[in-house]
Amino acid sequence: MGGSILVTGGRGQLAQSLAKLGGQRVIVVGRPEFDFDRPATIAATIDRYKPSLVVNAAAWTAVDLAESEVDGATRANETGPAELARACARHDIPLIHVSTDYVYAGDKGTPYTETDPISPQTVYGHTKAAGEQAVLAENPRTIVLRTAWVYSPHGKNFVRTMLNAGAKNPQLKVVGDQSGNPTSSDDLAEGILAIIEKLQQGWQDGYAGVYHATGSGEATWHDLAVTALQEAAKAGQPMPEVTAIRTQDWPTPAKRPKDSRLDGAKLEKVFGVKLPHWQDSVARTVKEIMVPQKP
Ligand SMILES: NC(=O)C1=CN([C@@H]2O[C@H](COP(=O)(O)OP(=O)(O)OC[C@H]3O[C@@H](n4cnc5c(N)ncnc54)[C@H](OP(=O)(O)O)[C@@H]3O)[C@@H](O)[C@H]2O)C=CC1
Ligand SMILES: Cc1cn([C@H]2C[C@H](O)[C@@H](COP(=O)(O)OP(=O)(O)O[C@H]3O[C@@H](C)C(=O)[C@@H](O)[C@H]3O)O2)c(=O)[nH]c1=O
């Protein structure tokens, strides 16, 4: 398996991190060339590039909007990935498909392991859960990575939202009763590249299945906001007052899991991959965001 690595989701956080860190082997495709809303583009892209492995980093990630845009979310998160997995299977191409902590209900009270039952509570979670099942069924060489709370210096993510909000407002309110594992998009990309290196030594049947792949350590959204804003303050941005609020005080169309912490032991055991602690990675990411722009 020495050929190219095809990454879908071109302008997205994870695809951009893989493009940055993966070297010349990585080919990134995005819309309009590769579009889950136009299913003919899926097999056509595989036939065109004939990759040795595919990473599916394309998805509908607008959690609240998915509640009212069920068809679009279903095409991007379920039926599109199913077609992609079929196209890969026809050519024996391994597929790494990225999924989410939002497939869990969030009421377990301790970190989830991969054998715990899933119980999505939102359209986004349902479509991602159905996508996981579909890709695993369509291609026997599929690895599903459930990640969570992804942030990066680019794109739309909670860390950037907080930095922008903190630059404009002296007071912010952020939920402090939802827990999870913040994950740097760059760290996840490094982890995926390490998995691919292992796969290059030969596919083993035991590899197929679901893995948790998140940053080490846990946080509430309030913890994440405070850490990001403290790092920004070190670079000169005024530090706002950040009040921890309850979920019911920040109503959203889609219900977020209360506690979606994921246990990453399986990924470490099978592939030797453990992602860095979120606090270190948030500090690095905020520094990257705060670099003064050249005039
Ligand atoms: N962001 C997060 O916090 C988390 C993400 N994940 C999962 O990680 C993966 C990567 O997420 P991330 O990089 O943050 O996502 P982004 O939202 O940054 O990027 C998603 C990409 O998917 C593309 N896309 C959306 N719909 C379609 C479609 N119908 N056809 C083709 N491409 C499409 C978008 O294209 P365009 O630029 O053209 O709009 C975008 O480039 C996804 O599977 C996501 O579910 C899991 C947990 C947390
Ligand atoms: C912007 C903001 C949000 N919140 C709350 C709302 C919500 O409960 C929580 C997170 O907000 P967001 O809507 O930004 O994050 P959200 O879109 O729910 O993030 C999720 O995205 C998808 C793609 C995933 O797969 C998940 O792992 C997760 O990262 O913070 C505040 O309390 N204050 C704020 O100022």
- Stretch 58-70: mean pLDDT, rounded? 98
Please pick, among 102, 112, 124, 211, the residue that the annotation labels catalytic: 124
Domain boundaries, the chain: 5-156+183-216+259-275
Percent over 90 (pLDDT), the chain: 97
pLDDT at 46 over 70: yes
Q: Given pLDDT bands bounded at 50, 70 and 90, which one contains residue 21?
A: very high
Q: Given pLDDT bands bounded at 50, 70 and 90, which one contains residue 291?
A: confident
pTM, rounded to two decimals:
0.97
For residue 57, the ligand closest to its alpha carbon is 1
DSSP string, 233-284: HHTTPPPPEEEEE-GGGS--SSPPPSB--B--HHHHHHH---PPBHHHHHHH
DSSP category for residue 162: H
pLDDT at 295 over 80: no
Residue whose CA is at the smallest distance from ligand 1 atom 35: 9
Place domain 5-156+183-216+259-275 in its CATH homologous superfamily.
NAD(P)-binding Rossmann-like Domain (3.40.50.720)
221-276: pLDDT as tens digits:
999 999 999 999 999 999 999 999 999 999 999 999 999 999 999 999 999 999 99
Active-site residue, 102 included: no
156 Cα nearest atom in ligand 1: 18
Predicted confidence at residue 169, as pLDDT, reads: 95
Q: Given pLDDT bands bounded at 50, 70 and 90, which one contains residue 205?
A: confident
Bond prior to 292 in cis (omega within 30° of 0): no
pLDDT at 65 over 90: yes
For residue 63, the ligand closest to its alpha carbon is 2
- Stretch 117-146: mean pLDDT, rounded? 98
The tokens describing 116, both together, are 């715990």
59 Cα nearest atom in ligand 2: 23
- Stretch 37-58: mean pLDDT, rounded? 98
Cα separation values, 187 from 162, 194, 251, 275, Å: 20, 11, 31, 6
ipTM over 0.85: yes
Q: Given pLDDT bands bounded at 50, 70 and 90, which one contains residue 292?
A: low
